[in-house]
Amino acid sequence: MTLPRALVRSLILPAALACAAASLVAQTPAVSGAQPGRAAATAWTPAGPRYPGEGTGAHRWIDAVNGDDDNPGTQAFPWRTVDRLESATLAPGDLVHLVAGTYPVQGSLRLVGIEGSPLAWIGIIAEGPVTLRNSALSNVVNVEGCRFLFLRGLEITHENGALPYGAWDPVDGVKFQTTPSDHVAIDGCRIHHLGNVGVSSQAPLIRNVSVVRTEIHDCYVGLYWGYYEAPTKRYAHDGLIARNFIHDCPPVDLDGTGYGIQIKGGSHGNVIEDNVLVRTAGSSRAAIAVYHASTFQGFEPDRNVIRRNLIRASRNEGIYATEGALIEGNVVLDSASIGISVTRRDTGWGSFYGNLVVRDNTVGGVDAASGQALFTGVGPFTAPQVVAGNLLVVTGPSQTSLRLPPGFAGVSVANHCFGATSGPAVGVVALPDLSSLLSTSFGEPNAWFPAPGGALVGAADPAQASYHDFHARPRDAAPDVGAFESTGRGNPGWVLQEGFKE
């Protein structure tokens, strides 16, 4: 098999992003304030250096209690407000330390034209629990024309008073806008209680932007990048959205809209991996939505990649894609309507469908009476169109585990289905029961893991299988069906649960 370029790039990321991703596993955040049945919010956890040249330049300090904006910004004589950054001159390798405390933001904190270098990133980091909060009808942080910049350990929120969701100001937590930015990282932050988007981009272009190890919750949308449905397009390419915990976006479904993660049409090469999304999307939207990687100007082979995510209790679809996507190794549970949906999208700038690979996912349960675990729409489509090695489970009498359209001309192989199917029965293996799984109870150590010697073990097509399972463990020469590769015993890795994937 030939790996898509987006897949290859995600394995050989630029040094800064690769180091960031590798160090995430070892950092376990503290938690506090859990309510029964809901995940706890994360508390601030310190993180060590991991961006090239971090801290090799000048060190600036800001202290909301003991500082003064007329000071030189040293540790002995710190600035007082984060707004002071707007008039500061930062050079590659500089590091801005925010002393623990709450920092009111006057309007928006505008980070404009901050330029690090590939070997010396500029950082703004929390030294203890740090909250950036504004009350104006403005985004909390705007990023404009920045390069080689990272924000780490910050809590970013908006003052909504005692107003209920629906009456909150429509502001974003971090918004890329106005001019292109590239190589910007949002790392180990907590972004919450915003009437619009946690991390958004409406800049003409962002490249190599990463959001890693960040909790985003109680926002209308978790992440929303790009826009295609207008003459002036906005794109997001080659981003990394990894190991985040995104939940309750929106907090309440008021109008059927809202997403966990949405990357708009024409954006390509983005990798969305190892995230946990719980209770996201409105009743007509998806927890993760990518549209088309190509544009009206031509075909784009560099797919967006959606892999190894846990998606639970989406209010509509778990994953939605139209063109140019590799969807593999995800666990999608208890979606309201459809677990994974791939279908045609028509726009004023063309119609898009195809270049889709949906393989080795585990989709368990949908709520709607006529719900579907995996839905593929009617063509025509651009090849390839592959549906392979998926474990698809529904239990309702009118539900569908796999829906292939009449005359499906793509590749369908080794899809193991419990529950009725629709359309051509090509590549379908019917499961008489669920004895091939150790458990289907969410939160149990072996939930949705293959039973040793069961029907899923060694039953995938090696020619179509992914290289790694949900735990990023290599698959063997006789790969298993679904997101997990059997060990001959039980689950050797992270247990499916609400919270960061470890």
Pair (479, 384) in one structural domain: yes
Burial class, 101, CB count within 10 angstroms (exposed 0-12 / middle 13-18 / buried 19+): middle
Asked if 132 and 218 sit in the same domain, the reply is yes
Q: Is 11 helix (H, G, I), strand (E, B) or coil?
A: helix
369 and 456 share one domain: yes
pLDDT of residue 64: 97
244 occurs within a structural domain: no
Question: Strand, coil or helix: what is 307?
Answer: strand
Residue 426, amino acid: V
Residue 443 DSSP label = T
Residue that finishes a domain, picked among 183, 206, 234: 234
- Does one domain contain both 78 and 185? yes
Strand duo 345-347 + 350-352: pairing? antiparallel
Output the six-digit token pair for 348: 């004023």
Q: Is 144 left (phi over 0), alpha (psi -120 to 50) or beta?
A: beta
DSSP structure class, residue 449? P
Residue 123 maps to a domain: yes
Same-domain check for residues 199 and 323? no
Task: Return the closest-CA partner of residue 111 out of 81, 87, 144.
Answer: 144
Count structural domains, the chain: 2
Helices (H) and strands (E) in the chain, counts: 2, 38
Per-residue pLDDT 10s for the chain (502 aa) are: 333 333 333 333 444 444 444 333 333 333 333 333 334 444 455 455 689 999 999 999 999 999 999 999 999 999 999 999 999 999 999 999 999 999 999 999 999 999 999 999 999 999 999 999 999 999 999 999 999 999 999 999 999 999 999 999 999 999 999 999 999 999 999 999 999 999 999 999 999 999 999 999 999 999 999 999 999 999 999 999 999 999 999 999 999 999 999 999 999 999 999 999 999 999 999 999 999 999 988 889 899 999 999 999 999 999 999 999 999 999 999 999 999 999 999 988 889 999 999 999 999 999 999 999 999 999 899 999 999 999 999 999 999 999 999 999 999 999 999 999 999 999 999 999 999 999 999 999 999 999 999 999 999 999 999 999 999 999 999 999 999 999 999 999 999 999 999 8
Q: Is residue 248 part of a domain?
A: no
450 and 319: one domain? yes
- Rounded distance between C-alpha atoms, residue 405 and residue 384, angstroms: 16
Tell me, yes or no, whether 325 and 222 share the same domain. Answer: no
Within a domain: 242: no
Model pLDDT, residue 348: 86
| Residue 30 located in a structural domain | no
- Give the three-class secondary structure for 280: strand
Residue 250: both structure tokens together: 């929106």
Per the domain annotation, does 450 fall within a domain? yes
Contact 100, 130 (CB under 8 A): yes
Q: Which residue has the tokens 């504004």?
A: 134
H or E segment at 109?
strand 109-112
Residues 306 and 185 in one domain: no
Eight-class DSSP state of 435: T
CA distance 198 to 196: 7
My answer on whether 340 and 395 are in the same domain is yes
Bridge partner residues of 412 (DSSP): 387
The domain boundary residue, chosen from 206, 234, 262:
234
- Of the residues 177, 205, 234, the one at which a domain ends: 234
Note whether 356 and 328 are within 8 A (CB): no
As a whole number of angstroms, the distance between CA 376 and CA 342 comes to: 5
Q: How many angstroms from the chain centroid is the CA of residue 183?
A: 17
In one-letter notation, the amino acid at residue 274 is D
CB-count burial class (<10 Å; 0-12, 13-18, 19+) for 228: buried
> How far is Cα 29 from Cα 401, in angstroms, rounded to an integer?
37
Q: Which of 134, 70, 59 is nearest to 98 (CA)?
A: 59
The predicted pLDDT at position 297 comes to: 84
Between CA 237 and CA 234 the distance in angstroms is 10
Does 93 share its domain with 5?
yes
Judge residue 417's burial from the number of C-beta atoms within 10 Å of its C-beta, 0-12 exposed, 13-18 middle, 19 or more buried.
Answer: buried
On whether both 229 and 141 belong to a single domain, the answer is yes
User: How far apart are alpha carbons 322 and 432 in whole angstroms?
Assistant: 32
Tokens 């949002």 label which residue? 186
Which amino acid, residue 160? N
226 and 298 part of one domain: no
Question: How far is residue 310's CA from residue 502's CA, in Å, rounded to a whole number?
Answer: 12
Question: pLDDT value at position 8?
Answer: 33
CATH label of the domain that carries residue 59: 2.160.20
Query: 312, 334 in Cβ contact below 8 A?
Result: yes
Domain that holds residue 319: 253-502
Residue at 29 is within a domain: no
Q: How far is CA 222 from CA 97, 195, 385, 456, in A?
A: 26, 11, 29, 34
Q: What is the pLDDT of residue 50?
A: 85
Cβ atoms < 10 Å from Cβ of 274: 26
Closest CA to 418 of 428, 408, 426, 404: 428
Residue 64 domain-assigned?
A: yes
